Each structure stands twice: as C-alpha cells, then as structure tokens.
Amino acid sequence: MPEQLNPKAQELAKQWDLNSTTTKQYIELMQRYFSTQGFSYTLTPDVTTSSHRIDQFLFEYKNGFCGHYASSVAVLLRSAGIPARLVSGYLGAEYNIQQGYFSVYQYDAHAWVEYFVPNEGWKRLDPTAWVSPGRLLGSLSEHQTLAGEFQQNLGLSLVAWQDFKAINWLRLRLEQLDYQWTRWVLNFDQDKQTSLLQTLFGNKGKQWAGALVVLVISLVLTILFFYVQRIVKVKEPTVIKRYRQLIGFCDKDLSALPPKRAIDELIRQYSEQREMLLQFYADFAANRYQGKSFGKNQNKHAKNLINSIKTKAKR
C-alpha cells in the first residue's frame, strides 16, 4: 500500500486492527462502519476531486456503486495486512422462457472483493450487501429503489420502456433475433463450416470457398480504400477544446498525462488559479465521466480561466 495515499483510511484500518484479533472480527468492524455511517448506493455518485479518493469516499461523499465499495474495502483490508483483490463479473440476468436462455447485460456488471485467510484460502466478500442488500437479489433493472436512476442512465433504450407490454414484447423479439444470430452465425464452428461447404461445393468445397473468400476480401478492401480517402470532419467537444488550450500553457508537454495529473501540473505552475483549475476539472470530469453537459456557464468559466492564464503566461 502506498503510504502517501488515503492516510485517513489507513489510520482507520490500523485502529480496527488494534481492536480485533481475527480477520472475522476486523470485517465485522468494517461492516458496522458502513452500516451506521450513512452510506448509500447510487448510480450517480459525487465526482471525486481529491487524489485521496478512498478517503473522500469514506469520510465525505459516502455514496457510490459496487466499484466504490469494493475498492474501498480492498484498501482497508490491505492496510491491515490482509491480502485482498478486486473481482469483477456480472450479477443478475433475464431468463427467456420461450428460448430457454439467460440474457446478461452490461448494466449487470458487478464488483466485489476476495480476501485471504491463512490455512483457509481465498474468501468472498461483497460490501455492497452492507448498504444495499436488494442489489444482490438480481439484475439492476429489477432494483425498485434505483428505478429512476437506472432508467436515467440507460438513455435511449427499450429496457427503459419495458413496463409497456407492446414495447417489451418488441424488445424480447429483437433479443431473440440477436440470440439466434449469436448461436447460428457467430458460433459457426469448423464442423458446421465443413458440412455446409460439402453440401454447396462437393469434395472441393474448401478450395472453392477459399477462392470466394479471397475475392470477397479483395472487394471489401477496395471499398474500404476509397471510403477512407474521403475527408471526414469530426467536431471536437467544447470541453476537450478548452482542455487542450489549458495544457498548452504549461512549460511541459502534458498531452500524454491523464487529465487529473495534467491539471495538477498546471496548478503547480499557476498556483493563483488553483480554485479555477479545480473547478474546471470538476466540470471536465462531470462531462467526460458522468455524461453531464458542459454548458454555457462552464464554458464561460473555462474561457475566463484561459484568459487569466494566458495573461500571466505573457509576463
């Protein structure tokens, strides 16, 4: 564990370590903290602005989804000398009665923790259960408490309208077509290929198929060649444009750095604009990582910041 990161979390872990004699007791102290300190499960958490992100989550914001809780618990475990690792996968699915299969969606993604106990091995721990037990009962789409946030995060999706029978019927039929495509086209293995080629071309099926493939690939590459020659203008988002203008004032080349580190470098060079730079990064992160708008007020603030730094840079 890096000693310079999340000092509050590491100090809290040391206190729990002193007050417990077994890993089980230590985890019970963790669970009590998460259960009694007003933590909540949300799909729209506050944007982290500190380099000590675990500290900010544990002691200030206290809201987030599975990734926030899993990463925080992993840090708390490791700070006490307990080996821990993050695990990601999926929790929940939708069963299709007609076709007899489960549909697992991106929004069913989930994260939890595994910790190691000597002579016992790795054990599973899901801290999400401490703050939102209902999340562990099935798909996120079935979580009634988060229904509003869930539909808001979906954007334009038929799942958001599944309460309407006609739309849900259409959604299920489209998903069945996708399932059949996956089963019969994407999973078209070598045995199925050989059988089809012999049926179509006889004993020389592979040779004819090879020639056909070469012809099709040549045709596709020719089309792609002429397609990529056309000029395509992509409008750069305003927030990216402002960000590029900002990092251009730094003495160093910041283009290869993550945005947070680049802003930190600018703060070191232009300390007088610290608050304005931090506000710009908060607007930047909200737009790029949470999908929030970068509107007129944010753009005006960014322009003022750029003009201020530009004036200082000329001196």
The pLDDT tens digits for 205-220 are 556 666 777 788 888 9
* Cβ neighbour number for residue 314 with a 10 Å cutoff: 6
Quick one: which of 53, 26, 58, 54 has its CA closest to 39?
Answer: 58
Q: DSSP readout, 28-54?
A: HHHHHHHHHTT-EE-SSPPPP-SS-HH
The structure tokens listed for 184 are: 């019969």
The reported pLDDT for the residue numbered 36 is 95
Confidence of residue 149 (pLDDT cuts 50, 70, 90): low
Residue 286 has pLDDT above 60, yes or no: yes
* Tens-place pLDDT, residues 125-134: 999 999 988 8
Residue 174 has pLDDT above 80, yes or no: no
Per-domain boundaries in the chain: 7-154, 160-228, 238-314
The structure tokens listed for 198 are: 């012999």
* Tens-place pLDDT, residues 64-114: 999 999 999 999 999 999 999 999 999 877 777 777 778 787 778 899 999
The reported pLDDT for the residue numbered 156 is 45
Residue 279 has pLDDT above 80, yes or no: yes
More confident residue, 289 or 150: 289
Contact call for residues 36 and 131 (beta carbons, < 8 A): no
The reported pLDDT for the residue numbered 185 is 64
Confidence of residue 311 (pLDDT cuts 50, 70, 90): confident
Q: Which of 144-153, 174-183, 226-235, 245-254 has the largest mean confidence?
A: 245-254
* Tens-place pLDDT, residues 235-257: 788 888 989 888 888 888 888 88
Strand partners, 89: 110
The reported pLDDT for the residue numbered 23 is 96
* Tens-place pLDDT, residues 15-38: 999 999 999 999 999 999 999 999
* Cβ neighbour number for residue 277 with a 10 Å cutoff: 21
Q: What is the mean pLDDT of the chain?
A: 82
Residue 195 has pLDDT above 60, yes or no: yes
Quick one: which of 180, 177, 176 has its CA closest to 188?
Answer: 180
Architecture of domain 7-154: Roll (3.10)
- Alpha carbons 246 and 243: distance in angstroms, whole number: 5
* Cβ neighbour number for residue 183 with a 10 Å cutoff: 12
Q: What is the value of pTM for the model shown?
A: 0.51
The reported pLDDT for the residue numbered 171 is 62
Chain mean position to CA 223: 35
The reported pLDDT for the residue numbered 60 is 94
Residue 158 has pLDDT above 50, yes or no: no
User: Radius of gyration over alpha carbons of the chain, in Å?
Assistant: 27
Contact call for residues 289 and 48 (beta carbons, < 8 A): no
